[in-house]
Amino acid sequence: MTLKEILFGGGSALFVLLTLLQLAPIKINPWSAIAKAFGRAINSEVLEKVGKLESELQCVRSGIAEEKAVNCRARILRFGDECLHGERHTKDHFDQTLRDIAAYERYCEDHPEFENNVTELTSDRIKTIYRRCLDSNDFLQ
């Protein structure tokens, strides 16, 4: 038996064995494992870049969420100042501000490191004014 016959015969036997294992009801999938390893080897650079992009995307999402919270805070404080100066508001404007308050409080609960000591009293005052207007139906028409 020559070396060529051994290699081709052994290679064929190995091929048949791996194929049978792949098709067997037991979950040993050698062809899938080989293809996956080969794919990872070829695409390692791409996978690394995708990982970096995912982390950068997460940073961007965090920044957008924080910016939304800051915008909610600004609208809450502005609305509170308008109420302090005696300006009246429609029920829709109150409802939007109450949604801002809820979104802002939810963000602050989820992000304890976020500075939140400026809207609590204003939010309470807005809610009190809203209840009073709701009880007396005294919204701006």
Tens digits of residue pLDDT in 60-92: 999 999 999 999 999 999 999 999 999 999 999
CB contact at 8 A, 42 and 34 = no
Q: Higher confidence at residue 28 or residue 126?
A: 126
CB contact at 8 A, 21 and 28 = yes
- Computed over every residue of the chain, the mean pLDDT equals 87
Averaged pLDDT, 37-54: 89
Share of the chain above pLDDT 70, in %: 79
Q: What are the Cα distances from residue 88, in Å, to 23, 94, 99?
A: 75, 10, 18
| pLDDT number for residue 138 | 85
| Long-range Cβ contacts of 88-91 (<8 Å, 24+ apart) | 88/138, 88/139, 88/140, 89/139, 89/140, 90/139, 90/140, 90/141, 91/133, 91/134, 91/139
| pLDDT number for residue 132 | 96
Phi, psi of 82 (to 5 degrees): -60, -40
Q: pLDDT of 108-127, one tens digit each?
A: 999 999 987 789 999 999 99
- Residue 1 pLDDT > 60, yes or no? no
| pLDDT number for residue 10 | 62
Q: What does the alpha-carbon distance between residue 21 and residue 33 come to, in Å, rounded to a whole number?
A: 12
| H-run or E-run covering 39 | helix 30-84
Q: What are the Cα distances from residue 115, in Å, to 27, 73, 104?
A: 52, 11, 11
Averaged pLDDT, 18-22: 65
